[in-house]
């Protein structure tokens, strides 16, 4: 008994030690290799009905010369694409986004001065910080969309880059103007959301322009905007706010948009003092979350308060009846998750495991007539409790803004002890007995994407495409999961590794 216990202790310690290099590679090591249409070999045949291209966006480089980023969110953008011609074959391409500051950084062999979420190492001095702030954000490393034929990549900023989705070549930067909107001083109109949504029944997308007032007595402005192409915008509604919330996503139903303004606000005084954006965002634990519900046809804005909560990622919303909306979000009790992706935390097992990481899937019932928002309990399946802790949610997009059941995502702390015990989960919002999970020791799944079967009739007819980093052999692969069973259909290793990246989507008419 003694020797078996000693062996188990040794094995656990060995595993803990082995986890550090894998985390260093996955979360903190640049992957400089680029590839072009490398054929992929899947261990089982691909379903031939899969036809299109999966493109993912995220950090790929975290240092240039002697200077480096301190936060994974700031890594220079790199795009990855998996092309599926529809004949059972697949090709992989990986390429850095050629933003102006990335090209300048390579030229000077240093990270060029521009606005970053967190500080650099070594840090910029005060005069350099002012120059960086004036130049604004130029690294679009979070998401990718198709705006009426224009492929664009974006961040939580108003500026974006247009790219060629076939080749991943960078085309141009775009800072679109909103007709009738004055965004000159004293407003700093820099912020937006990284998750625009398609307007129900149209080819347009919807987003938010956040105009920060730099004068203390002048209110900030939120403008809800219709996107018609990479450069064409149309104002739907505009209203003043006393404090400017950090926004990353929102929800849309057939007739409404819901902006969930959690009390995580921009502190203008900190900005003027030269603080980094992450140090200029303050969570107000004693203030409510404010929901702004925008009528998409009239532009009327209804304001309703609800519980104090923080959320980056909305799941879905729909209209239960004429006056009732149901909205699901991946929520946290506060904004402690924001600094979590600093390398000093990610690279320290004790710090990341003991970090106050408390996600929960939450549903809100919005009573438009009574102007009331009520949290609704989401049932927990005791066999798969981690399904209620998912983030990076994805759904069958055919059910966007409609009643739905299934949401898929990553549970980063599946055993509720170790941040790094990743699972890819399926949460059944209609019946928790349908909750399922996939995991392998030492394997780290990222955000997935649901590709519906062209002849499918059920909500979960299709496949899930999930990039995974195998920490055991230090290689990355794409896994095709069966959403009904959450068991792998086939996998293919990549010719280059992947740094942990953020979001992407599947383009059906691109292959």
Q: What does pTM read for this prediction?
A: 0.93
Which helix (H) or strand (E) element contains residue 463? strand 462-470
Q: In this predicted structure, which of 105-114, 129-138, 184-193 has the lowest mean pLDDT?
A: 184-193
Name residue 424's beta-bridge partners.
410, 438
Q: 72 — phi, psi (to 5°)? A: -60, -30
Which of 182-196, 213-227, 240-254 is the least confident region? 182-196
- Residues 6+ away with beta carbon under 8 Å from 152: 144, 145, 146, 160, 161, 162, 163, 174, 230
In a domain, 8, yes or no: no
Whether 5 maps to a domain, the answer reads no
Out of 4-8, 218-222, 469-473, least confident range: 4-8
- On the CB side of 68, CA atoms within 13 Å amount to 14
List the single range of 6-20, 81-95, 375-389 with lowest mean pLDDT.
6-20
pLDDT tens across 380-437, in order? 999 999 999 999 999 999 999 999 999 999 999 999 999 999 999 999 999 999 999 9
What is the pLDDT, as a whole number, of residue 17?
Answer: 35
CATH number of the domain at 212, please: 2.130.10
8 — pLDDT class (breaks 50, 70, 90): very low
Q: Residue 408 and residue 449: Cα distance in Å, rounded?
A: 8
Question: Does residue 228 lie in a domain region?
Answer: yes
User: Each residue of 482-498: pLDDT tens digit?
Assistant: 999 999 999 999 999 99
Q: Answer yes or no: is 237 within a domain.
A: yes
The whole-number pLDDT of residue 511 equals 63
Determine, yes or no, domain membership for 6.
no
Give the up-direction half-sphere exposure of residue 310: CA atoms within 13 A in the CB hemisphere. 21
Residue 286: domain span: 22-507
Q: Does 10 score more than 60 pLDDT?
A: no
> For residue 52, what are the β-bridge partners?
84
389 phi, psi to nearest 5 deg = -115, 15
Write out the H or E segment, with its range, that includes residue 346.
Answer: helix 343-346
Single out the residue of 205, 221, 231 nearest to residue 266, CA to CA: 221
- Over residues 14-57, the pLDDT tens digits come to 334 334 567 788 998 999 999 999 999 999 999 999 999 999 99
Does residue 11 fall inside a structural domain?
no
Residue 296 lies in a domain: yes
Domain count, the chain: 1
What's the distance, Cα to Cα, between the start and end of the chain in Å?
58
- Cα–Cα–Cα angle for 73, 71, 136, rounded to 5 degrees: 60
For residues 128-132, give the mean pLDDT. Answer: 88
Closest CA to 411 of 383, 434, 428, 388: 388
Residue 89: is its pLDDT beyond 90?
yes
- 494, burial (CB in 10 Å: exposed 0-12, middle 13-18, buried 19+): buried
Q: What's the CA gap between 104 and 125, in Å, rounded? A: 19
Centre a 10 Å sphere on the Cβ of residue 386 and count the other Cβ atoms it contains.
24
Distance of CA 21 to the CA centre of its chain: 25
What is the structure's pLDDT at 21? 66
How many Å is the maximal CA-CA distance in the chain? 77
| Domain annotation covers residue 1 | no
């Amino acid at each position: 008994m003694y020797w078996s216990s000693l062996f188990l202790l040794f094995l656990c310690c060995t595993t803990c030690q082995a986890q550090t290099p894998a985390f260093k590679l996955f979360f903190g090591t640049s992957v400089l290799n680029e590839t072009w249409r490398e054929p992929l070999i899947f261990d089982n045949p691909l379903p031939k009905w899969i036809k299109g291209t999966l493109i993912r966006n995220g950090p790929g480089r975290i240092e240039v010369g002697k200077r480096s980023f301190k936060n994974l969110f700031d890594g220079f953008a790199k795009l990855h694409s998996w092309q599926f011609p529809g004949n059972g074959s697949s090709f992989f391409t990986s390429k850095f986004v050629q933003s102006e500051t990335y090209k300048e950084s390579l030229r000077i062999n240093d990270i060029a001065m521009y606005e970053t979420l967190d500080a650099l190492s070594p840090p910029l001095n005060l005069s350099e910080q002012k120059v960086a702030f004036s130049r604004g954000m130029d690294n679009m490393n979070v998401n990718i969309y198709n705006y009426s034929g224009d492929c664009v990549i974006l961040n939580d900023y108003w500026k974006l880059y247009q790219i060629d989705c076939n080749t991943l070549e960078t085309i141009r930067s775009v800072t679109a103007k909103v007709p009738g909107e004055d965004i000159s001083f004293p407003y700093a109109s820099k912020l937006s959301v990284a998750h625009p949504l398609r307007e129900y029944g149209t080819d347009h997308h919807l987003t938010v322009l956040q105009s920060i007032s730099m004068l203390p007595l002048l209110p900030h402005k939120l403008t809800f905007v219709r996107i018609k192409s990479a450069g064409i915008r149309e104002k739907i509604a505009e209203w003043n706010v006393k404090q400017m919330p950090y926004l990353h996503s929102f929800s849309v139903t057939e007739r409404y948009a819901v902006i969930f303004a959690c009390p995580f606000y921009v502190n203008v005084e900190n900005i003027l003092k030269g603080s980094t954006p992450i140090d200029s965002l303050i969570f107000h634990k004693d203030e409510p979350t404010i929901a702004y519900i925008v009528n998409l046809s009239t532009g009327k804005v209804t304001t309703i308060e609800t519980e104090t909560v923080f959320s980056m990622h909305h799941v879905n919303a729909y209209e239960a009846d004429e006056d009732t909306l149901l909205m699901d979000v991946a929520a946290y009790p506060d904004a402690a998750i924001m600094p979590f992706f600093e390398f000093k935390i990610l690279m320290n097992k004790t710090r990341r495991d003991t970090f106050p990481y408390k996600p929960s899937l939450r549903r809100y019932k919005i009573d438009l007539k009574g102007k009331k928002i009520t949290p609704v309990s989401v049932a927990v399946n005791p066999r798969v409790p981690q399904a209620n802790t998912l983030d990076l949610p994805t759904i069958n997009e055919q059910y966007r803004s409609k009643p739905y059941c299934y949401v898929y995502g990553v549970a980063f702390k599946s055993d509720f002890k170790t941040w790094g015990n990743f699972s890819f989960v399926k949460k059944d919002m209609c019946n928790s007995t349908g909750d399922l999970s996939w995991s392998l020791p030492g394997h780290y799944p990222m955000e997935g994407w649901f590709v519906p079967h062209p002849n499918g009739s059920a909500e979960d007819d299709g496949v899930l495409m999930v990039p995974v980093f195998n920490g055991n052999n230090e290689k990355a692969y794409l896994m095709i999961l069966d959403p009904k069973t959450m068991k792998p259909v086939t996998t293919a290793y990549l010719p280059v590794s992947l740094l942990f990246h953020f979001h992407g989507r599947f383009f059906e008419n691109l292959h």
